[in-house]
A and B are shown apart, each in its own frame.
Chain A
Amino acid sequence: ETGVTQSPTHLIKTRGQQVTLRCSSQSGHNTVSWYQQALGQGPQFIFQYYREEENGRGNFPPRFSGLQFPNYSSELNVNALELDDSALYLCASSYSGSTVETQYFGPGTRLLVL
């Protein structure tokens, strides 16, 4: 196990609702990245947080937002849920220093939007 935890494990929402997903990073890591993985596809980068600020964003609309807290844990918020938001949401933590470091993933949150 990586030490990266995510909650909840599963979630069912209806279209138009809002959802918050949570991630606790591995001890010693200061960077959190979020990915969306639709069924049968590879993960797609949503955004990354470093030192409590967004540090890179993929091709996702503004209704996808996030936070990073002083203890390096993070939240992903999605407003106005759409059916296509149904996916596995993966959080990854890493240490950003002088070099690029490996990202270690949590177990994911499976979101179903009805």
Chain B
Amino acid sequence: AQKVTQAQTEISVVEKEDVTLDCVYETRDTTYYLFWYKQPPSGELVFLIRRNSFDEQNEISGRYSWNFQKSTSSFNFTITASQVVDSAVYFCALSETSGSRLTFGEGTQLTVNP
């Protein structure tokens, strides 16, 4: 069975601080996909990134960066120089190759204070 754990329920930071959101996953599949989604108060899940299990290169996109470590089954997300607009719930998710069913973690509520 697949499982995604986001141990941090809530994080509060001051604007311009760096913040890292943790994600640990469990799967028996050798090929799988990992995702991060952002959910602002409006409710719509916004896709941020997708990584394949066979590609462990870290990725940077503007202020966002992702650290994928297969050895520790982790896929952590860092926001550099956080902004108030980054305030949202962030979800890590996992899917297997046989279908695109997503297994989500419980989410991390990030609050960035001015």
Residues B47 and A102 in contact, CB atoms below 8 Å apart: yes
| Size band of the interface chain B makes with A | 20 to 34
Residues B104 and A42 in contact, CB atoms below 8 Å apart: yes
Bound form: Cα–Cα A109–B93 in Å: 21
Provided the pairs A43-B45, A106-B44, A107-B43 are in contact, do residues A101 and B105 lie with their beta carbons within 8 angstroms? no
**In the complex, what residue of chain A is closest to B42 when comparing beta carbons?**
A107
Spot the interface stretch: B58-66, B72-80, B94-102. Answer: B94-102
Bound form: Cα–Cα A9–B47 in Å: 20
Number of interface residues of A (CB under 8 A): 28
Bound form: Cα–Cα A107–B45 in Å: 7
Residues A31 and B100 in contact, CB atoms below 8 Å apart: yes
List CB contacts (< 8 Å) of A36-61 with chain B: 41-45, 48, 55-56, 58
Residues B101 and A33 in contact, CB atoms below 8 Å apart: yes
Indicate the member of A2, A58, A100, A102 with the most B CB atoms within 10 Å: A100
Residues B43 and A48 in contact, CB atoms below 8 Å apart: no
Q: Is B113 an interface residue (CB 8 A)?
A: no
Nearest CB on A from B109, distance (A): 9
Indicate the member of B42, B102, B103, B106 with the most A CB atoms within 10 Å: B102
Query: Chain B: residues with CB nearer than 8 A to chain A?
Result: 4, 33, 35, 37, 42-47, 50, 91, 93, 95, 97, 99-107
